[in-house]
């Protein structure tokens, strides 16, 4: 059985479900068409449920990517000269630092070695140190850093921020709907993502949910208004209108993607959030065992730091980035390195969304990686790696 189309196993864009693809693949509706209004309103309601947010939290959804969602959070919350702490775990946290500096914020960074993450105690210390210089406005952290495959636990960080009266913002671009996140229970203020990662859609949408506190920070702003296209004050009436099923216009939404999102979120919620997180966790654990059978070591330095949405894997000795091309030649697209410090030393395999519900996709991926390693002269135990996909690895 050969599939002529390569399997897309990078950390986004990813394989999407047939139902999502069908919803997307229609002639573009108007942004004021009744079915579009219904889908938009439904998306906002479903976002609150997927984000596990309070009824008072406000979802935003607009044409853009993860970077635009990061920027929307930054420009609405930070005024020039205000202080922010970034918990840095890789390439995307560094992008956040640069973004905040461009806004004129005073940014402090707490970072760990590549593959590691600062502990909550280190973050608390950094927050306290920054607080001695004056009030701190916000703490930013990346839930899963896609460049290192490092997973952070947002719960203690959101708690620390809350205690200190600081807003907490989590970049969930490679995590949302794939890793546990409890926005209301943990007291997080912004959780943002893009459509093409664990949400399981084509690229093109930026999504975030903002807490009441975050909205109040924008409302109480003293500096000039943020750039218009990202300003919550422009977008709030539009989102409220859609949720009340009224037509509205500020900037044209990506209408086909909105239709697809309503279906994608429905699929996620039909399984239930616990089941959705669990299927990612199980797939990740099985793959982790498979990679070990193939002699591959992970970039995250401890198992509990390894994301459930992607694997960042070091090339074995004697193997270089040509491995990625060998895997592609076998019909599976994986990604090369991204973190500048180790870029040529590792590769990345995405395992989120539709693919983690399709054992044959995971098997095809492991088979291709196993064969490519063999071709590169570093064979692992291919049969054992494939067998690992059939059984749940021992916990811990």
Residue 231 in tokens = 């300003």
| 67 touches ligand PLP by CB under 6 A | yes
- Taking residues 144 to 173 in sequence order and writing x for each that binds ligand PLP by CB under 6 A, - otherwise, the string is -xx------------------------x-x
| 194 touches ligand PLP by CB under 6 A | yes
| 89 touches ligand PLP by CB under 6 A | no
| 299 touches ligand PLP by CB under 6 A | no
Q: Shortest gap between Cβ of 176 and ligand PLP (angstroms)?
A: 10
Residues 2-41 that bind ligand PLP (CB under 6 A): 12
| 338 touches ligand PLP by CB under 6 A | no
- Taking residues 256 to 295 in sequence order and writing x for each that binds ligand PLP by CB under 6 A, - otherwise, the string is ----------------------------------------
Q: What would the 3-class secondary structure string for the chain be?
A: CCCCCCEEECCCCECCCHHHHHHHCCCCCCCCCHHHHHHHHHHHHHHHHHHCCCCCCEEEEEECCHHHHHHHHHHHHCCCCCEEEEEECCHHHHHHHHHHHHCCCEEEEEECCCCCCCCHHHHHHHHHHHHCCCCEEEEEEECEECCCCEECCHHHHHHHHHHCCCEEEEECCCCECCECCCHHHHCCCEEEEECCCCCCCCCCEEEEEECHHHHHHHHCCCCCCCCHHHCHHHHHHHHHHHHCCCCCCCCCCCHHHHHHHHHHHHHHHHHCHHHHHHHHHHHHHHHHHHHHHCCCEECCCCHHHECCCEEEEECCCCCCCHHHHHHHHCCEECEECCCCCCHHHEEEEECCHHHHHCHHHHHHHHHHHHHHHHHCCCCCCHHHHHHHCCCCCCCC
* Identity of the residue, 14 or 194, whose beta carbon is nearer to ligand PLP in the bound complex: 194
Residues 173-192 that bind ligand PLP (CB under 6 A): 173-174
Size of the site for ligand PLP (CB under 6 A): 12
User: 66, 115, 149, 337: which one contacts ligand PLP (CB under 6 A)?
Assistant: 66
Nearest-CB residue for ligand PLP: 66
* Identity of the residue, 138 or 319, whose beta carbon is nearer to ligand PLP in the bound complex: 138
Q: Shortest gap between Cβ of 101 and ligand PLP (angstroms)?
A: 17
Q: Which stretch binds ligand PLP (CB under 6 A): 13-21, 38-46, 141-149, 257-265?
A: 141-149
* Identity of the residue, 139 or 330, whose beta carbon is nearer to ligand PLP in the bound complex: 139
User: 17, 142, 148, 365: which one contacts ligand PLP (CB under 6 A)?
Assistant: 142
Q: Shortest gap between Cβ of 206 and ligand PLP (angstroms)?
A: 7
Applying CB under 6 A, the residues found at the interface with ligand PLP are 12, 65-67, 92, 142, 145-146, 171, 173-174, 194
């Amino acid at each position: 059985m050969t599939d002529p189309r390569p399997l897309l196993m990078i950390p986004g864009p990813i394989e999407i479900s047939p139902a999502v693809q069908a919803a997307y693949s229609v002639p573009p509706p108007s942004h004021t068409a009744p079915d579009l209004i219904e889908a938009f309103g439904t998306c906002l309601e479903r976002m609150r449920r997927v984000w596990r947010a309070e009824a008072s939290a406000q979802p935003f959804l607009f044409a853009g990517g993860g970077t635009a969602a990061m920027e929307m959070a930054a420009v609405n919350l930070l005024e020039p000269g205000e202080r922010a702490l970034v918990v840095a775990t890789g390439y995307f946290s560094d992008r956040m630092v640069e973004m905040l500096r461009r806004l004129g914020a005073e940014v402090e960074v707490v970072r760990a070695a590549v593959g590691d993450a600062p502990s909550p105690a280190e973050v608390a210390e950094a927050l306290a140190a920054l607080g001695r210089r004056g009030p701190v406005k916000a703490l930013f952290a990346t839930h899963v850093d896609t460049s290192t495959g490092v997973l952070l636990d947002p719960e203690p960080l959101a708690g620390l921020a809350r205690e200190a009266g600081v807003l907490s913002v989590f970049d969930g671009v490679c995590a949302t709907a794939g890793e546990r996140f409890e926005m209301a229970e943990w007291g997080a203020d912004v959780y943002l993502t893009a459509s093409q990662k664990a949400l399981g859609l084509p690229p093109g949408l930026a999504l975030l949910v903002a807490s009441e506190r975050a909205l109040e920070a924008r409302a109480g702003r003293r500096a000039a208004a943020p750039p218009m296209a990202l300003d919550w004050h422009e977008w709030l009436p539009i989102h409220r209108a859609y949720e009340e099923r009224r037509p509205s216009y500020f900037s044209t939404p990506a209408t086909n993607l909105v239709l697809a999102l309503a279906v994608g979120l429905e699929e996620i919620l039909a399984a239930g959030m616990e089941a959705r997180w669990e299927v990612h966790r199980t797939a990740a654990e099985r793959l982790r065992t498979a990679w070990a059978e193939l002699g591959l070591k992970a970039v995250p330095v401890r198992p509990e730091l390894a994301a459930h949405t992607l694997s960042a894997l070091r090339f074995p000795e004697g193997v270089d980035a040509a491995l990625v091309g060998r895997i592609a030649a076998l019909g599976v697209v994986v990604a090369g390195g991204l973190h500048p410090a180790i870029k040529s030393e590792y590769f990345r395999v995405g395992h989120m969304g539709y693919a983690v519900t399709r054992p044959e996709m995971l098997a095809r991926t492991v088979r291709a990686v196993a064969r490519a390693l063999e071709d590169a002269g570093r064979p692992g135990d291919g049969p054992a790696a494939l067998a690992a996909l059939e059984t749940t690895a021992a916990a811990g």
